[in-house]
Amino acid sequence: MIRALLAIVFARTLAEGGWSPVAVFALAAASDYVDGPIARRAGGATRYGVLLDSGADVAFVTIASSAGAVLGRLSWFVPVSILASAVPYLVATWRWGRAHEAPARAYSAVGHAAGVSNYVLAGLLAGSTAVPDGPWPVLLGLGSAVVVGLNLTAVAARLASRARARRPSGSTGRGTRSTP
Per-domain boundaries in the chain:
2-161
| Most confidently predicted of 93-107, 126-140, 166-180 | 126-140
Question: Is a pLDDT exceeding 60 seen at residue 171?
Answer: no
pLDDT of residue 120: 97
Question: Is a pLDDT exceeding 90 seen at residue 176?
Answer: no
Cβ contacts of residue 103 below 8 Å, gap of 6+? 44, 45, 46, 47, 49, 50, 97
CATH class of 2-161: mainly alpha
pLDDT in tens, 5-64: 999 999 999 999 999 999 999 999 998 888 777 777 777 777 777 788 889 999 999 999
pLDDT of residue 149: 98
The answer to whether the beta carbons of residues 127 and 136 sit under 8 Å apart is yes
Strand, helix or coil for residue 171? strand
Q: What distance in Å separates the CA atoms of residue 46 and residue 51, rounded to the nearest whole number?
A: 9
Confidence of residue 72 (pLDDT cuts 50, 70, 90): very high
pTM score of the predicted model: 0.85
CA 72 from centroid of its chain's CA atoms: 21
Q: What distance in Å separates the CA atoms of residue 24 and residue 9, rounded to the nearest whole number?
A: 7
Tell me what the mean pLDDT of segment 63-77 comes to: 97
54-73: buried (b, 16+ CB within 10 Å) or exposed (e) per residue? bbbbbbbbbbbbbbbbeeeb
Question: Residue 25: is it exposed, middle or buried by C-beta count within 10 angstroms (0-12/13-18/19+)?
Answer: buried
Question: Is a pLDDT exceeding 50 seen at residue 180?
Answer: no
pLDDT of residue 177: 38
Tell me what the mean pLDDT of segment 71-75 comes to: 96
For CA atoms 91, 97, 103, 107, give the dihedral sign. Answer: negative
pLDDT in tens, 97-129: 777 776 677 788 999 999 999 999 999 999 999
